[in-house]
A and B are shown apart, each in its own frame.
Chain A
Amino acid sequence: MTPANPAPAKVIEVNDLVTHYGERKILNAVSMDVRDGEIMVIMGGSGSGKSTLLRQMMALEQATSGSIKLMGQDVDKMNIREMFEFRKKIGVAFQGGALFSSMTVGENIMLPLVEHTKLDSKTMEIMVRMKLQVVDLAGFENLMPSELSGGMVKRAAFARAIIMDPKILFCDEPSAGLDPVIASALDDLILRMRDALGMSIIVVTHELESAFKIADRITVLDKGTILFIGTVDELRSSNKVRIQNLLNRRTEEETLDPDEYLRRLTSGVEEIAGNTGL
């Protein structure tokens, strides 16, 4: 017998992920998942590992150990053709926009269609204009990226990320550096795209207000480990000290343990000094 409301399928499954950069452990036994049609926000301070996790979920970088399944397929086991097909199903809005400065806004947005499809040029042109309408940049197709403001570049990057109607959209710090009104409009756009297109959206951000507005669930990373996974309400009612610090926007500095800080500053110093003859 099947349950009346089965849980949505998992589009991303991260299992026991460990990542080392040289001696440094960036991710430590990270396990989480993203469900079909869900907006999952990944939060964490600088150096928490959130950007590394995002890159590995996009299959741009390999973990040291553990596994990532994207739409049921193990990333490590995909051949080149499978990876090419997979890339058609994901969209990526990079933090800085990553538009090509030598191409018009319209050419930038059309690029994935030119690379991955054999659609008629008229169809592609109309798709570009539709997506520009979606991101409130109607009529901007012939401008160069240098003629756009920071918020407009982000929206144009969104238009490019969704041009192929991806099943999964990755957004890296979508509202960073934007004024609150434009940031809020981008949040609305993320919600509208999910509702209309049913895509799963993974957003890395450190903006609490934005996270609370758009997230179905939030993953909080701290020093490479999962500190919390749950809904906004569950996050708000968490009594973990580090979660409370996050909610109260306390910085690492404000919550500094003096003894731990001293240990960090001096650990191994004697050996270094000895080796250099000081």
Chain B
Amino acid sequence: MKYEIKEVNGVIVVTIEGDVDLQSSPEARKALLDGVGRKMPVLVDLAGVGYIDSSGVASLVESLQTARKNGQEFALAAISEGTRRVLSLARLDKVFTIFDALQDGLKKLG
């Protein structure tokens, strides 16, 4: 797994690529909380994530909650069908704001 954090038109985009599992999720968590720590709207680009397990989803949940406490917007973009199924199993597809494409999220949050 690898990640990148960058600012695009006033939005922090956290791009995660690869599998997010028990081994790699601590690093994903660090990236997500780092992104939230920049006090701007956060958009998580998951287009490159093939597999995300519960520990990865838990890191997304923690980051969302931290962003809400800070009054920041936090959204996911370009999630795969597999990621959507994992989120919906615990009904988290109702909790996250999810954009089909990164550009849609950037337009909305920027």
Interface residue range, chain A: 20 to 34
Determine whether A209 belongs to the interface, using a CB cutoff of 8 Å to chain B: no
B1 interfacial contact with A, CB 8 Å: no
Q: Are B55 and A119 in contact (CB under 8 A)?
A: yes
The stretch that binds B, out of A45-53, A75-83, A124-132, A262-270, is A124-132
Interface residue stretch chosen among A66-74, A170-178, A189-197 = A189-197
Residue pair B89, A192 in contact (C-beta under 8 Å): yes
Q: Known contacts being A119-B25, A120-B26, A165-B53, is A127 close to B86, with CB within 8 Å?
A: no
Q: Is A164 in contact with chain B by the CB < 8 A criterion?
A: yes
Whether A118 pairs with B26 at a CB distance below 8 angstroms is yes
With A130-B90, A130-B92 as given contacts, are A165 and B25 in contact (CB-CB < 8 Å)? no
Q: Are A122 and B62 in contact (CB under 8 A)?
A: yes
Query: Could you say which residues of chain B place their CB within 8 Å of the CB of A226?
Result: none
A192 to B, closest residue via Cβ: B89
Asked if B22 and A119 sit within 8 Å, CB to CB, the answer is: yes
Question: Which of A120, A124, A192: most chain B Cβ within 10 A?
Answer: A120
Q: Which of B75-93 contact A (CB under 8 A)?
A: 82, 85-86, 88-92
Least Cβ distance of A129 to chain B in Å? 9
Pick the contact of A163: B54, B61, B86, B89 (CB < 8 A): B54
Query: Closest approach, in angstroms, between the C-beta of A200 and any C-beta of chain B?
Result: 16
Is B59 located at the chain interface by the 8 A CB criterion?
yes
User: Which residues of chain A are within 8 angstroms of B53 by Cβ–Cβ distance?
Assistant: 165
Q: B24 → chain A, closest Cβ, in Å?
A: 11
The one of A88, A133, A196 that contacts B22, using a Cβ cutoff of 8 Å: A88
Main secondary structure of the interface of B (DSSP, over half): helix
Q: Is the CB of B61 within 8 A of A196?
A: no
Tell whether, in the assembled complex, residue A197 and residue B58 are in contact, meaning their CB atoms are under 8 Å apart: no
User: Given A88-B22, A123-B25, A164-B22, are A196 and B62 also a contact pair (CB < 8 Å)?
Assistant: no
Contact with B along A178-207 (1 / 0, CB 8 A): 000000000000001101111000000000
Across the interface, name the chain B residue whose C-beta is closest to A193: B89
Report A-chain residues with C-beta under 8 Å of the C-beta of B62: 122-123, 126
CB pair B89–A123 under 8 Å, yes or no, is no
**Which chain A residue has the least Cβ–Cβ distance from B21?**
A165
In the complex, chain B residues whose CB is within 8 Å of the CB of A130? 54, 57-58, 61, 90, 92
B44 to chain A, nearest CB (A): 16
Look across to chain A and name the residue whose beta carbon is closest to the beta carbon of B92.
A130
- CB contacts (< 8 Å) of A124 on chain B: these are 58
13 cross-chain CB contacts under 8 A: A119-B25, A119-B55, A122-B62, A123-B26, A123-B29, A123-B55, A124-B58, A127-B55, A130-B57, A130-B92, A131-B90, A134-B89, A197-B85
Binding site for B on A (CB under 8 A): 88, 116-120, 122-124, 126-127, 130-131, 133-134, 163-165, 192-193, 195-198
| A-B interface, 7 closest residue pairs, ranked by CB to CB distance from nearest | A126-B58, A196-B89, A130-B90, A165-B53, A196-B85, A123-B58, A127-B58
Which residues on B are within 8 Å of A, measured CB to CB?
Answer: 21-22, 25-26, 29, 53-55, 57-59, 61-62, 82, 85-86, 88-92
12 other A-B residue contacts (CB within 8 Å) besides A88-B22, A123-B26: A119-B22, A120-B29, A123-B25, A123-B58, A123-B62, A127-B55, A130-B54, A130-B61, A134-B90, A195-B85, A196-B89, A197-B85
